[in-house]
């Protein structure tokens, strides 16, 4: 039972060190998304050093585990900072700019709704106004979506 507690403490210490590295990177002006952090953690946990620590946790005595915990505390931060930074920097950066107000699926639905309303005799202007109110975006956005329609939407551009 004591061995399990010590093993869990070592693993918590490793997680603490990893997130301390993320904090250091943030202080250095490198902000990471949650996805980048998850990737960084997976890189560390797939490393040979981490595998060796896991093996020591499975096989080691309580004294050896305490020694591993000391090594983690003292040396791991310096050991993982550079490889972690290198791995995270290779990830693509998040796309900048304003988020799209409608998803591709919503755009297809908007086009179909406008087509259906026009099929029932509504003018384009009225159909756009009704759809924009129901979706909660501007009429200009709906006009842009309507102008982007393609054959794949089941709509023919006239």
Residue 95 lies in a domain: no
Please give the C-alpha separations between residue 92 and each of 34, 39, 95, in angstroms, as whole numbers.
Answer: 13, 12, 9
Could you tell me which residue, 123 or 70, shows the higher pLDDT? 123
- Tell me: do 70 and 112 sit in the same domain: no
- Tell me: do 76 and 113 sit in the same domain: no
Q: Taking every pair of C-alpha atoms in the chain, what is the biggest distance, in angstroms?
A: 83
Residue 20 lies in a domain: yes
Residue 61 lies in a domain: yes
- Tell me: do 10 and 40 sit in the same domain: yes
- Tell me: do 68 and 127 sit in the same domain: no
- Say how many domains are in the chain: 2
Residue 96 lies in a domain: no
- Tell me: do 80 and 132 sit in the same domain: no
- Tell me: do 66 and 7 sit in the same domain: yes
65-77 confidence digits (pLDDT tens):
666 666 666 666 6
- Tell me: do 119 and 67 sit in the same domain: no
- Tell me: do 31 and 63 sit in the same domain: yes
pLDDT of residue 1: 45
- Tell me: do 15 and 84 sit in the same domain: yes
29-46 confidence digits (pLDDT tens):
767 777 777 777 777 777
43-102 confidence digits (pLDDT tens):
777 777 677 767 766 776 666 666 666 666 666 666 667 777 777 777 777 677 888 889
Q: Is 156 left (phi over 0), alpha (psi -120 to 50) or beta?
A: beta
**Does the predicted model carry a pTM greater than 0.85?**
no
Full domain range(s) for residue 123: 104-153
How many angstroms separate the CA atoms of 136 and 124, rounded?
A: 18
pLDDT of residue 6: 64
Could you tell me which residue, 124 or 23, shows the higher pLDDT? 124
How many angstroms separate the CA atoms of 116 and 128, rounded?
A: 11
- Tell me: do 31 and 85 sit in the same domain: yes
**Over the chain, what is the mean pLDDT?**
77
Report phi then psi at 14, rounded to 5. -65, -45
């Amino acid at each position: 039972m004591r061995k399990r507690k010590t093993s869990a403490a070592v693993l918590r210490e490793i997680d603490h060190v990893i997130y301390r590295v993320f904090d250091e990177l943030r202080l250095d002006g490198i902000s990471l998304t949650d996805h980048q952090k998850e990737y960084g953690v997976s890189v560390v946990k797939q490393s040979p050093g981490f595998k060796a620590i896991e093996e020591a946790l499975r096989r080691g005595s309580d004294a050896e585990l305490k020694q591993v915990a000391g090594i983690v505390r003292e040396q791991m931060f310096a050991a993982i900072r550079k490889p972690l930074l290198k791995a995270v920097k290779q990830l693509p950066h998040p796309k900048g700019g304003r988020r799209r107000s409608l998803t591709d699926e919503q755009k297809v639905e908007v086009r179909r709704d406008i087509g259906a309303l026009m099929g029932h005799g509504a003018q384009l202007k009225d159909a756009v106004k009704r759809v924009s109110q129901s979706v909660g975006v501007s009429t200009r956005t709906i006009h842009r979506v309507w102008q982007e329609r393609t054959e794949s939407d089941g709509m023919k551009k006239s």
